[in-house]
Structure 1
Amino acid sequence: MSAAGSTLLGPAEVRSLAAELDLRPTKQRGQNFVIDANTVRRIVREAGVGPDDVVVEVGPGLGSLTLALLEVGARVVAVEIDPRLARLLPRTVAERAPGSADRLEVVTADALRVTELPGDQPTALVANLPYNVSVPVLIHLLTLLPSLERGLVMVQAEVADRLSAGPGSKAYGIPSVKAAWFADVRRAGAVGRQVFWPVPNVDSGLVAWTRREPPATTATREQVFAVVDAAFAQRRKGLRGALRTLAGSAERAEEALGRAGIDPLARGESLVVGDFARIAENLVEVLPA
């Protein structure tokens, strides 16, 4: 094993640290810790981060991915909800990668409720996201941190499919459209169950994204997202019916769709994010500001 390789956590180290904390991973917090050094190095490589990056990591847990991010020279802002894990992480880094300790900042907080982060503007998000809140966390951070240029997140395979799906596919839905508002999103591979402890009962996938400008529109993001939520709330309905409550009546929904150049009988899964933005523009008088 190389000197660099010796810093990362393996199965024995992960279990030892968990035992020290008397930590029993909980489904409630989506805690499945990565125990394979090759997997975390692969994630860092796929993310393309290096010494010029400030990386936000959500749910660092015992530090497997954190150490791999520090290994390539990145600065890391780790957001951890569990105070025990948050307290242990700096010590783990100081012991296993002492030259990197000054590049780690730990924030003890719920990533869904974070309103600001310390230090320089982050450039990337790289995380093994807690699977039960992965989409809300991703959308929240993309909204909160416009400086994020790119990212790579590990999520449940089904969620990875949804985030990266295109119009017309079965997996296409609210996560697909909302993620597309912020970024170009792609599937970046699969991750086997055996690299986790405890072994999850679901498959995992990697999703990579690159920030781009949202569609040019006079509607706000909140207004566009309100249309997206309504359009997919009843997937089997055409947009005229699906947007009826939001618009105030089916007739007003049909008028707005006509002005936006959208077939009133089309379904939400056939539209791209720019289409939803046009609909929102034509419903703006009934949408919340």
Structure 2
Amino acid sequence: MSSSASGSVAERLRVRGLAPKKRFGQNFLVDEEASRRIAEAAAAPGGGTVLEIGAGLGALTRPLLARAGKVVAVERDRDLAPILREDFQAPVEEGRLEILEADAAQVDWLAALASAGGARPWVIAGNLPYQITGRLLERATEVADDIDRAVFMVQLEVAERLLAPPGGDAYGALTVFVRAAFEVKRLLTARAGAFYPRPAVDSAVVVLTSIRPRRANETEAFRLAVRAAFGARRKTLRNAWRGIYGWSAEELASHAQEAGISLDVRGETLDVEDFARLAARYSR
């Protein structure tokens, strides 16, 4: 990545007396090729409606507008929202772009997509702030049944966790919860130089494609089984699940056997469907 793109962003902020806000986790994407590829993945086929999380200075908004039928850009920074309205005045007036000055973690994503006209596919896209990535991924799983996919730039470590196979160190509760609702693929890796200011870590773009029906419904019983298993990673399931659902040791052994699960292994060896089968035993 050349310094010119980063310098352009820095200058745009400087002339308005602004600087990246650490409290918002602002690291502006300045790699145009990465923006183009994210937009292609989000708005494929052309048309549809994209909810963009954290529009910033519009690096992704612009290529999204070239492909999507309608874009709803969410930006919580009240200093940046006016810049977006100024830079994208024409698509706003044409009704192709709606700018919401709000916290994406609080916005009703489905209502925003529906109010934009509802043209399918429905897609969520954005460069997720590191400090709220977990919350936003959780929101994505909540709406997975009603959207078609999500295309997110996340910290590389998070991407590796989402893609990890059972049994690996990176495989954990986040992997299970996200893969219960989505197929996950890596689109690209973005080095630190793709952002301004330059973060301390690399990032990656993941494409989350909704699975219908889900691999598992995220019931309270399912969440409890997953969290208990990974909350004590070094323990076998016999110990990690001790007392789960109020079951005795004998009841746990019986239900686990009926679900086809060995209690002598660790939770990280189970796939999504294993957790779902145990949770279903409690629900019966």
TM-score for the superposition, normalised by structure 2:
0.86
TM-superposed deviation, 1:274: 1.2
Q: Is the 8 A contact 1:215 1:273 kept in 2?
A: no
- Structure 1: gaps spanning 5 or more residues: 1-8
- Alignment deviations for residues 250-271 of structure 1 (CA, whole Å, 9 cap, x no partner): 6143333223221112221111
SS in 2 for 1:244: coil
Is residue 2:123 matched to residue 1:124?
Answer: yes
Q: How does 1:47-86 map to 2 (within 5 A)?
A: 47-86=42-81
State the alpha-carbon separation in 1 of the partners of residues 214 and 266 from structure 2.
20
Partner of 2:228: 230
- The residue that corresponds to 1:24 in the other structure is 19
User: Residue 90 of structure 1 aligns with which residue?
Assistant: 85
Map of 2:102 onto structure 1: 109
CA-atom RMSD in angstroms:
2.4
Cα distance, 1:24–1:249 mapped onto 2, change above 3 Å? farther
Amino acid at match of 2:106: R
Mean Cα deviation higher: 81-90 or 267-276: 81-90
Aligned residues: 273
Shift of 1:231: 1.2
Q: Rate the CA distance shift 1:71–1:39 in 2: closer, same or farther, 3 A.
A: same
Which residue of structure 2 lines up, in the alignment, with residue 43 of structure 1?
A: 38
* Deviations 1:165-184 (CA, angstroms, capped at 9, x unpaired): 12122211111111111111
Query: Are 1:56 and 1:125, in contact at CA under 8 Å, matched by a contact in 2?
Result: yes
Task: Describe the shift of the 1:169–1:214 C-alpha distance in structure 2 as closer, same or farther (beyond 3 A).
Answer: farther
CA distance in 1, matches of 2:155, 2:74: 20
8 Å CA contact 2:144, 2:210 repeated in 1? no
Residue number in structure 2 paired with 1:152: 151
Structure 2 equivalent of residue 284 of structure 1: 283
1:176-187 alignment runs, 5 A limit = 176-187=175-186
Q: Distance in 2 between matches of 1:22 and 1:204?
A: 28
- Alignment-mate amino acid for residue 20 of structure 2: P
SS in 2 for 1:127: strand
SS of alignment partner, residue 72 of structure 1: coil
Q: CA contact under 8 A between 1:157 and 1:202: conserved in structure 2?
A: yes
CA contact (8 A) 1:231 1:242 kept: yes
Written as runs of structure 1 = structure 2, the 5 A alignment for 1:118-267 is 118-121=115-118, 123-144=122-143, 146-215=145-214, 221-248=219-246, 251=249, 252-267=251-266
- TM-aligned CA distance change 1:81 to 1:235, over 3 Å: same
C-alpha deviation, 1:99, in angstroms: 4.7
State the identity as a percent: 36
Distance across 1 between alignment mates of 2:225 and 2:282: 9
Query: Could you say if the C-alpha distance between residues 108 and 44 of structure 1 is closer, same or farther in structure 2, counting changes exceeding 3 Å?
Result: same
Q: How far does residue 157 in structure 1 lie from its aligned partner after superposition?
A: 0.4
In 1, the alpha carbon distance for the partners of 2:228 and 2:66 equals: 44
**TM-score normalised by structure 1 residue count:** 0.85
String of CA shifts for 1:80-133, please: whole Å, max 9, x gaps: 222222333122212xxx356521112222222223323234611221111111
